[in-house]
Amino acid sequence: MYVCLCTGVTDQEIRQTIAEGAASVEEVAYCTGAGTRCGSCVSAIAALVEEGDAPARRPSLRMLRTSAA
């Protein structure tokens, strides 16, 4: 679905940009042009950035284990 109608950027393009390392609305805008005209899609871009960051914020189970003494 289109997230930014002004520049014709889809949610899949934004997700791909995030997967390639974009970690903020500004970085997505720089890479795709989304959110650089009227700005009405910035909140949707922010939600996709947050969604993309969610797995990285969850601690790994390996990190939570302690060695048995």
- Burial call 50-66: b when 16+ CB within 10 Å, e when fewer: eebeeeeeeeeeeeeee
Q: What is the pLDDT of residue 59?
A: 44
Q: What is the pLDDT of residue 29?
A: 97
Q: CB neighbours (10 Å) of residue 25?
A: 21
- Tally of structural domains, the chain: 1
pLDDT in tens, the chain (69 residues): 999 999 999 999 999 999 999 999 999 999 999 999 999 999 999 999 999 875 554 444 444 444 555
Asked if residue 30 is part of any domain, the answer here is yes
Q: What is the pLDDT of residue 37?
A: 97
Asked if residue 69 is part of any domain, the answer here is no
Question: Which CATH number is 56's domain given?
Answer: 1.10.10.1100
pTM above 0.75, yes or no: yes
Distance in angstroms (rounded) separating the CA atoms of residues 40 and 66 = 47
Q: What is the pLDDT of residue 60?
A: 41
**Tokens representing 52?**
């993309």
For residue 46, give its domain range: 2-64
Asked if residue 45 is part of any domain, the answer here is yes
